[in-house]
Amino acid sequence: LKPPEERTRSQAEIHKQIMEDMNAFTGVRAFATQPPTIGDRRGGQPLAYVLQAPNLDALIEVLPKFLDEANKSPVLRQIDADLKVNRPEGIISINRNKAAELGISVEQIARVLEFAYSGRRFGYFLKDGKQYQVIGQMQRQDRNDPGDLKKLFIPAKGGEMVSLDNLVQFDESASPAAILRFNRAVSATIQGSPAPGKTLGDGIEELDRIAKEVLPEGFRTALAGQSRDFAESSSSLLFAFCLALLIIYLVLAAQFESFIDPFIIILTVPLSMAGAFLTLHFTGQTLNVFSQIGIIMLVGIVTKNGILIVEFANQRKEQGLDKLEAVLDASVARLRPILMTSLATILGVLPIALSLGASAGSRQSLGIAVVGGLIFSGVLTLFVVPAVCAVFSRKQKAAA
């Protein structure tokens, strides 16, 4: 593609137009793929679902059923498999009993077939200073038809010549161009992409559902490519999110010398997550690796709003104010710092959310998650945190 500044359409828009144009052709299956921004740079479809079978025949039997169900699903599109049973194959079967009656061995028949069809190299010869290969094979016009076997003869035990067509049977069939394996098992990889508005996680869940309904016993499934990267990163990011919450809580508990104040501050995190998820939904973005990173960023960013209110409220209580009055005073006094810091962060992330610059579209979900989470939590924090502080303060006062 031309540089972004020299064209009016984004890569995603061009990809969509190409797919619409290719759908007009019948009798062919064509896909346009975009290389991922991170992970495997070889391109390909984002969904890569591996079917592992006990043997090749079982896989060839169940694969069409799986593809039919996947193509019917509204969650998936552009579904295809890398196992194609479309390579022409000729199978020659020897009538061993008849060959034995004529005193002809299987080895003799195999040698005649090898000399006629295999193209075996028997050596070299020199002519005019150049070296040429000696290849044993019939001319092309004499080996294009199964009936050409009648032209081959083999001597019987009595010395008479027997047509090879009387000793063998030729059958035509189709076979895979290559037998692929995954973890030492015969496999086929289902490739595709999620439908518009669906996430990569939705596509994986849909393929899991189809696998439970279609695959018989003895089959296993696995993920590959971008799908495996997504699954591994999702579990890692979940661990990172929980670890971030735990570390923040422990640090705040040590700082405030209280287990209640850090809990009040941590309440800003679900508010920001709700804002991030709602913003991603309404803007048509998906929950991908970038948006998950943005949500983890929010954990550290939004807690400062609660820290400003709780810390100032504690200072006012130490000056002799009633706990409820201290909370109200802290909310009013810290309104401007909260708005200023939130606005500064939003403006800093806004170029990413607006997808400004080359290849910024892939990171747009990160910016949208951060901006939506900050706006949502920035507004609600001014009401929820003071209210929770007031509730806990009243309980403590009554207990005293």
Label each residue of the chain as H, E or C.
Answer: CCCHHHCCCCHHHHHHHHHHHHCCCCCCCCCCCCCCCCCCCCCCCCEEEEEEECCHHHHHHHHHHHHHHHHHCCCEEEEEECCCCCEEEEEEEECHHHHHHCCCCHHHHHHHHHHHHHCEEEEEEEECCEEEEEEECCCHHHCCCHHHHHHCEEECCCCCEEEHHHCEEEEEEEECCCCCEECCEEEEEEEEEECCCCCHHHHHHHHHHHHHHHCCCCCEEEECHHHHHHHHHHHHHHHHHHHHHHHHHHHHHHHHCCCHHHHHHHCHHHHHHHHHHHHHHHCCCCCCHHHHHHHHHHHHHHHHHHHHHHHHHHHHHHCCCCHHHHHHHHHHHCHHHHHHHHHHHHHHHHHHHCCCCCCCHHHHHHHHHHHHHHHHHHHHHHHHHHHHHHHHHHHHHHHC
Distance CA(37)–CA(12), nearest Å, equals 13
C-beta atoms surrounding 166 within 10 Å: 14
Of residues 371, 376, 237, the one with CA closest to residue 296: 237
- What is the pLDDT at residue 65? 93
Q: Residue 49's pLDDT is what? A: 93
pLDDT band at 332 (very low <50, low <70, confident <90, very high): confident
Q: Which pLDDT score is estimated for 361?
A: 63
Q: Of all residues in the chain, what percent carry a pLDDT higher than 70?
A: 92
Highest mean pLDDT among 100-114, 128-142, 210-224, 252-266: 210-224
Range with the lowest mean pLDDT among 4-8, 98-102, 131-135, 396-400?
Answer: 396-400
- Whether residue 283 contacts residue 238, with contact meaning beta carbons closer than 8 Å, is answered with no
Q: What is the mean pLDDT of residues 14-38?
A: 71
- Whole-model pTM: value is 0.63
CB half-sphere exposure, 374, CA atoms < 13 A: 26
Q: Tell me: pLDDT of 399 over 50.
A: no
CATH class, range 33-85+178-223 = alpha beta
- Residue 323 has a CB neighbour count (10 Å cut-off) of 18
Among 173-177, 185-189, 190-194, 310-314, which stretch is predicted with the lowest mean pLDDT?
A: 173-177
Q: How do the domains of the chain map onto residue ranges?
A: 33-85+178-223, 87-175, 229-399
Q: What is the mean pLDDT of residues 295-320?
A: 85
At 394, is the pLDDT very low, low, confident or very high (cuts 50, 70, 90)?
A: very low
Q: State mean pLDDT over 178-204.
A: 86
User: Is 229-399 the same fold as 33-85+178-223?
Assistant: no
When the pLDDT of each residue in the chain is averaged and rounded to a whole number, the result is 82
Q: Which residue would you say has higher pLDDT here, 6 or 319?
A: 319
Q: For 342-374, how does the pLDDT look when each residue is reduced to its tens digit (9 = 90+)?
A: 889 888 888 888 876 655 666 788 889 899 999
Distance between CA atoms of 228 and 234, rounded to whole angstroms? 10
Task: Find the mean pLDDT for residues 3-17.
Answer: 75
- Which of 172-176, 177-181, 202-206 is predicted with the least confidence, judged by mean pLDDT? 172-176
Quick one: average pLDDT of 285-298? 81
Question: Is the pLDDT assigned to residue 206 strictly greater than 70?
Answer: yes
Q: Is 361 exposed, middle or buried (0-12, 13-18, 19+ CB in 10 A)?
A: middle
Specify the pLDDT at position 233: 75
Rounded CA gap, 384 and 236, in Å? Answer: 30
| The predicted structure's pLDDT at residue 398 | 39
Most confident of 6-10, 48-52, 90-94, 114-118: 48-52
pLDDT value at residue 36: 57
Degrees, nearest 5: CA angle 192-195-199: 90
The 10 Å CB-count burial string (b at 16+, else e) for 375-391 is bbbbebbbebbbebbbe
Give the residues across from 148 on adjacent strands.
none
Tokens 């064509």 appear where? 30
**pLDDT bucket at 395, cuts 50 / 70 / 90:** very low
What percent of the chain has pLDDT above 90?
10
Residues 149 and 42: beta-carbon distance below 8 Å: no
Buried b or exposed e, range 20-41, using 16+ CB within 10 angstroms? eeeeeeeeeeebeebebeebee
The residue assigned the tokens 């299956």 is: 29
Q: What are phi and psi of 321, to 5 degrees?
A: -75, 155
pLDDT over 70 at 143, yes or no: yes
Query: 87-175 domain in CATH 3.30.2090.10?
Result: yes
Question: What is the distance between the alpha carbons of residues 169 and 126, in angstroms, rounded to a whole number?
Answer: 39
User: Would the pLDDT of 163 be above 60?
Assistant: yes
CATH number 3.40.50.1370 given to 229-399: no
Mean pLDDT, residues 144-172 taken together: 83
Asked whether residue 197 carries a pLDDT value surpassing 80, the answer given is no
Supply 62's token pair.
Answer: 């169940």
Amino acid at 201: G
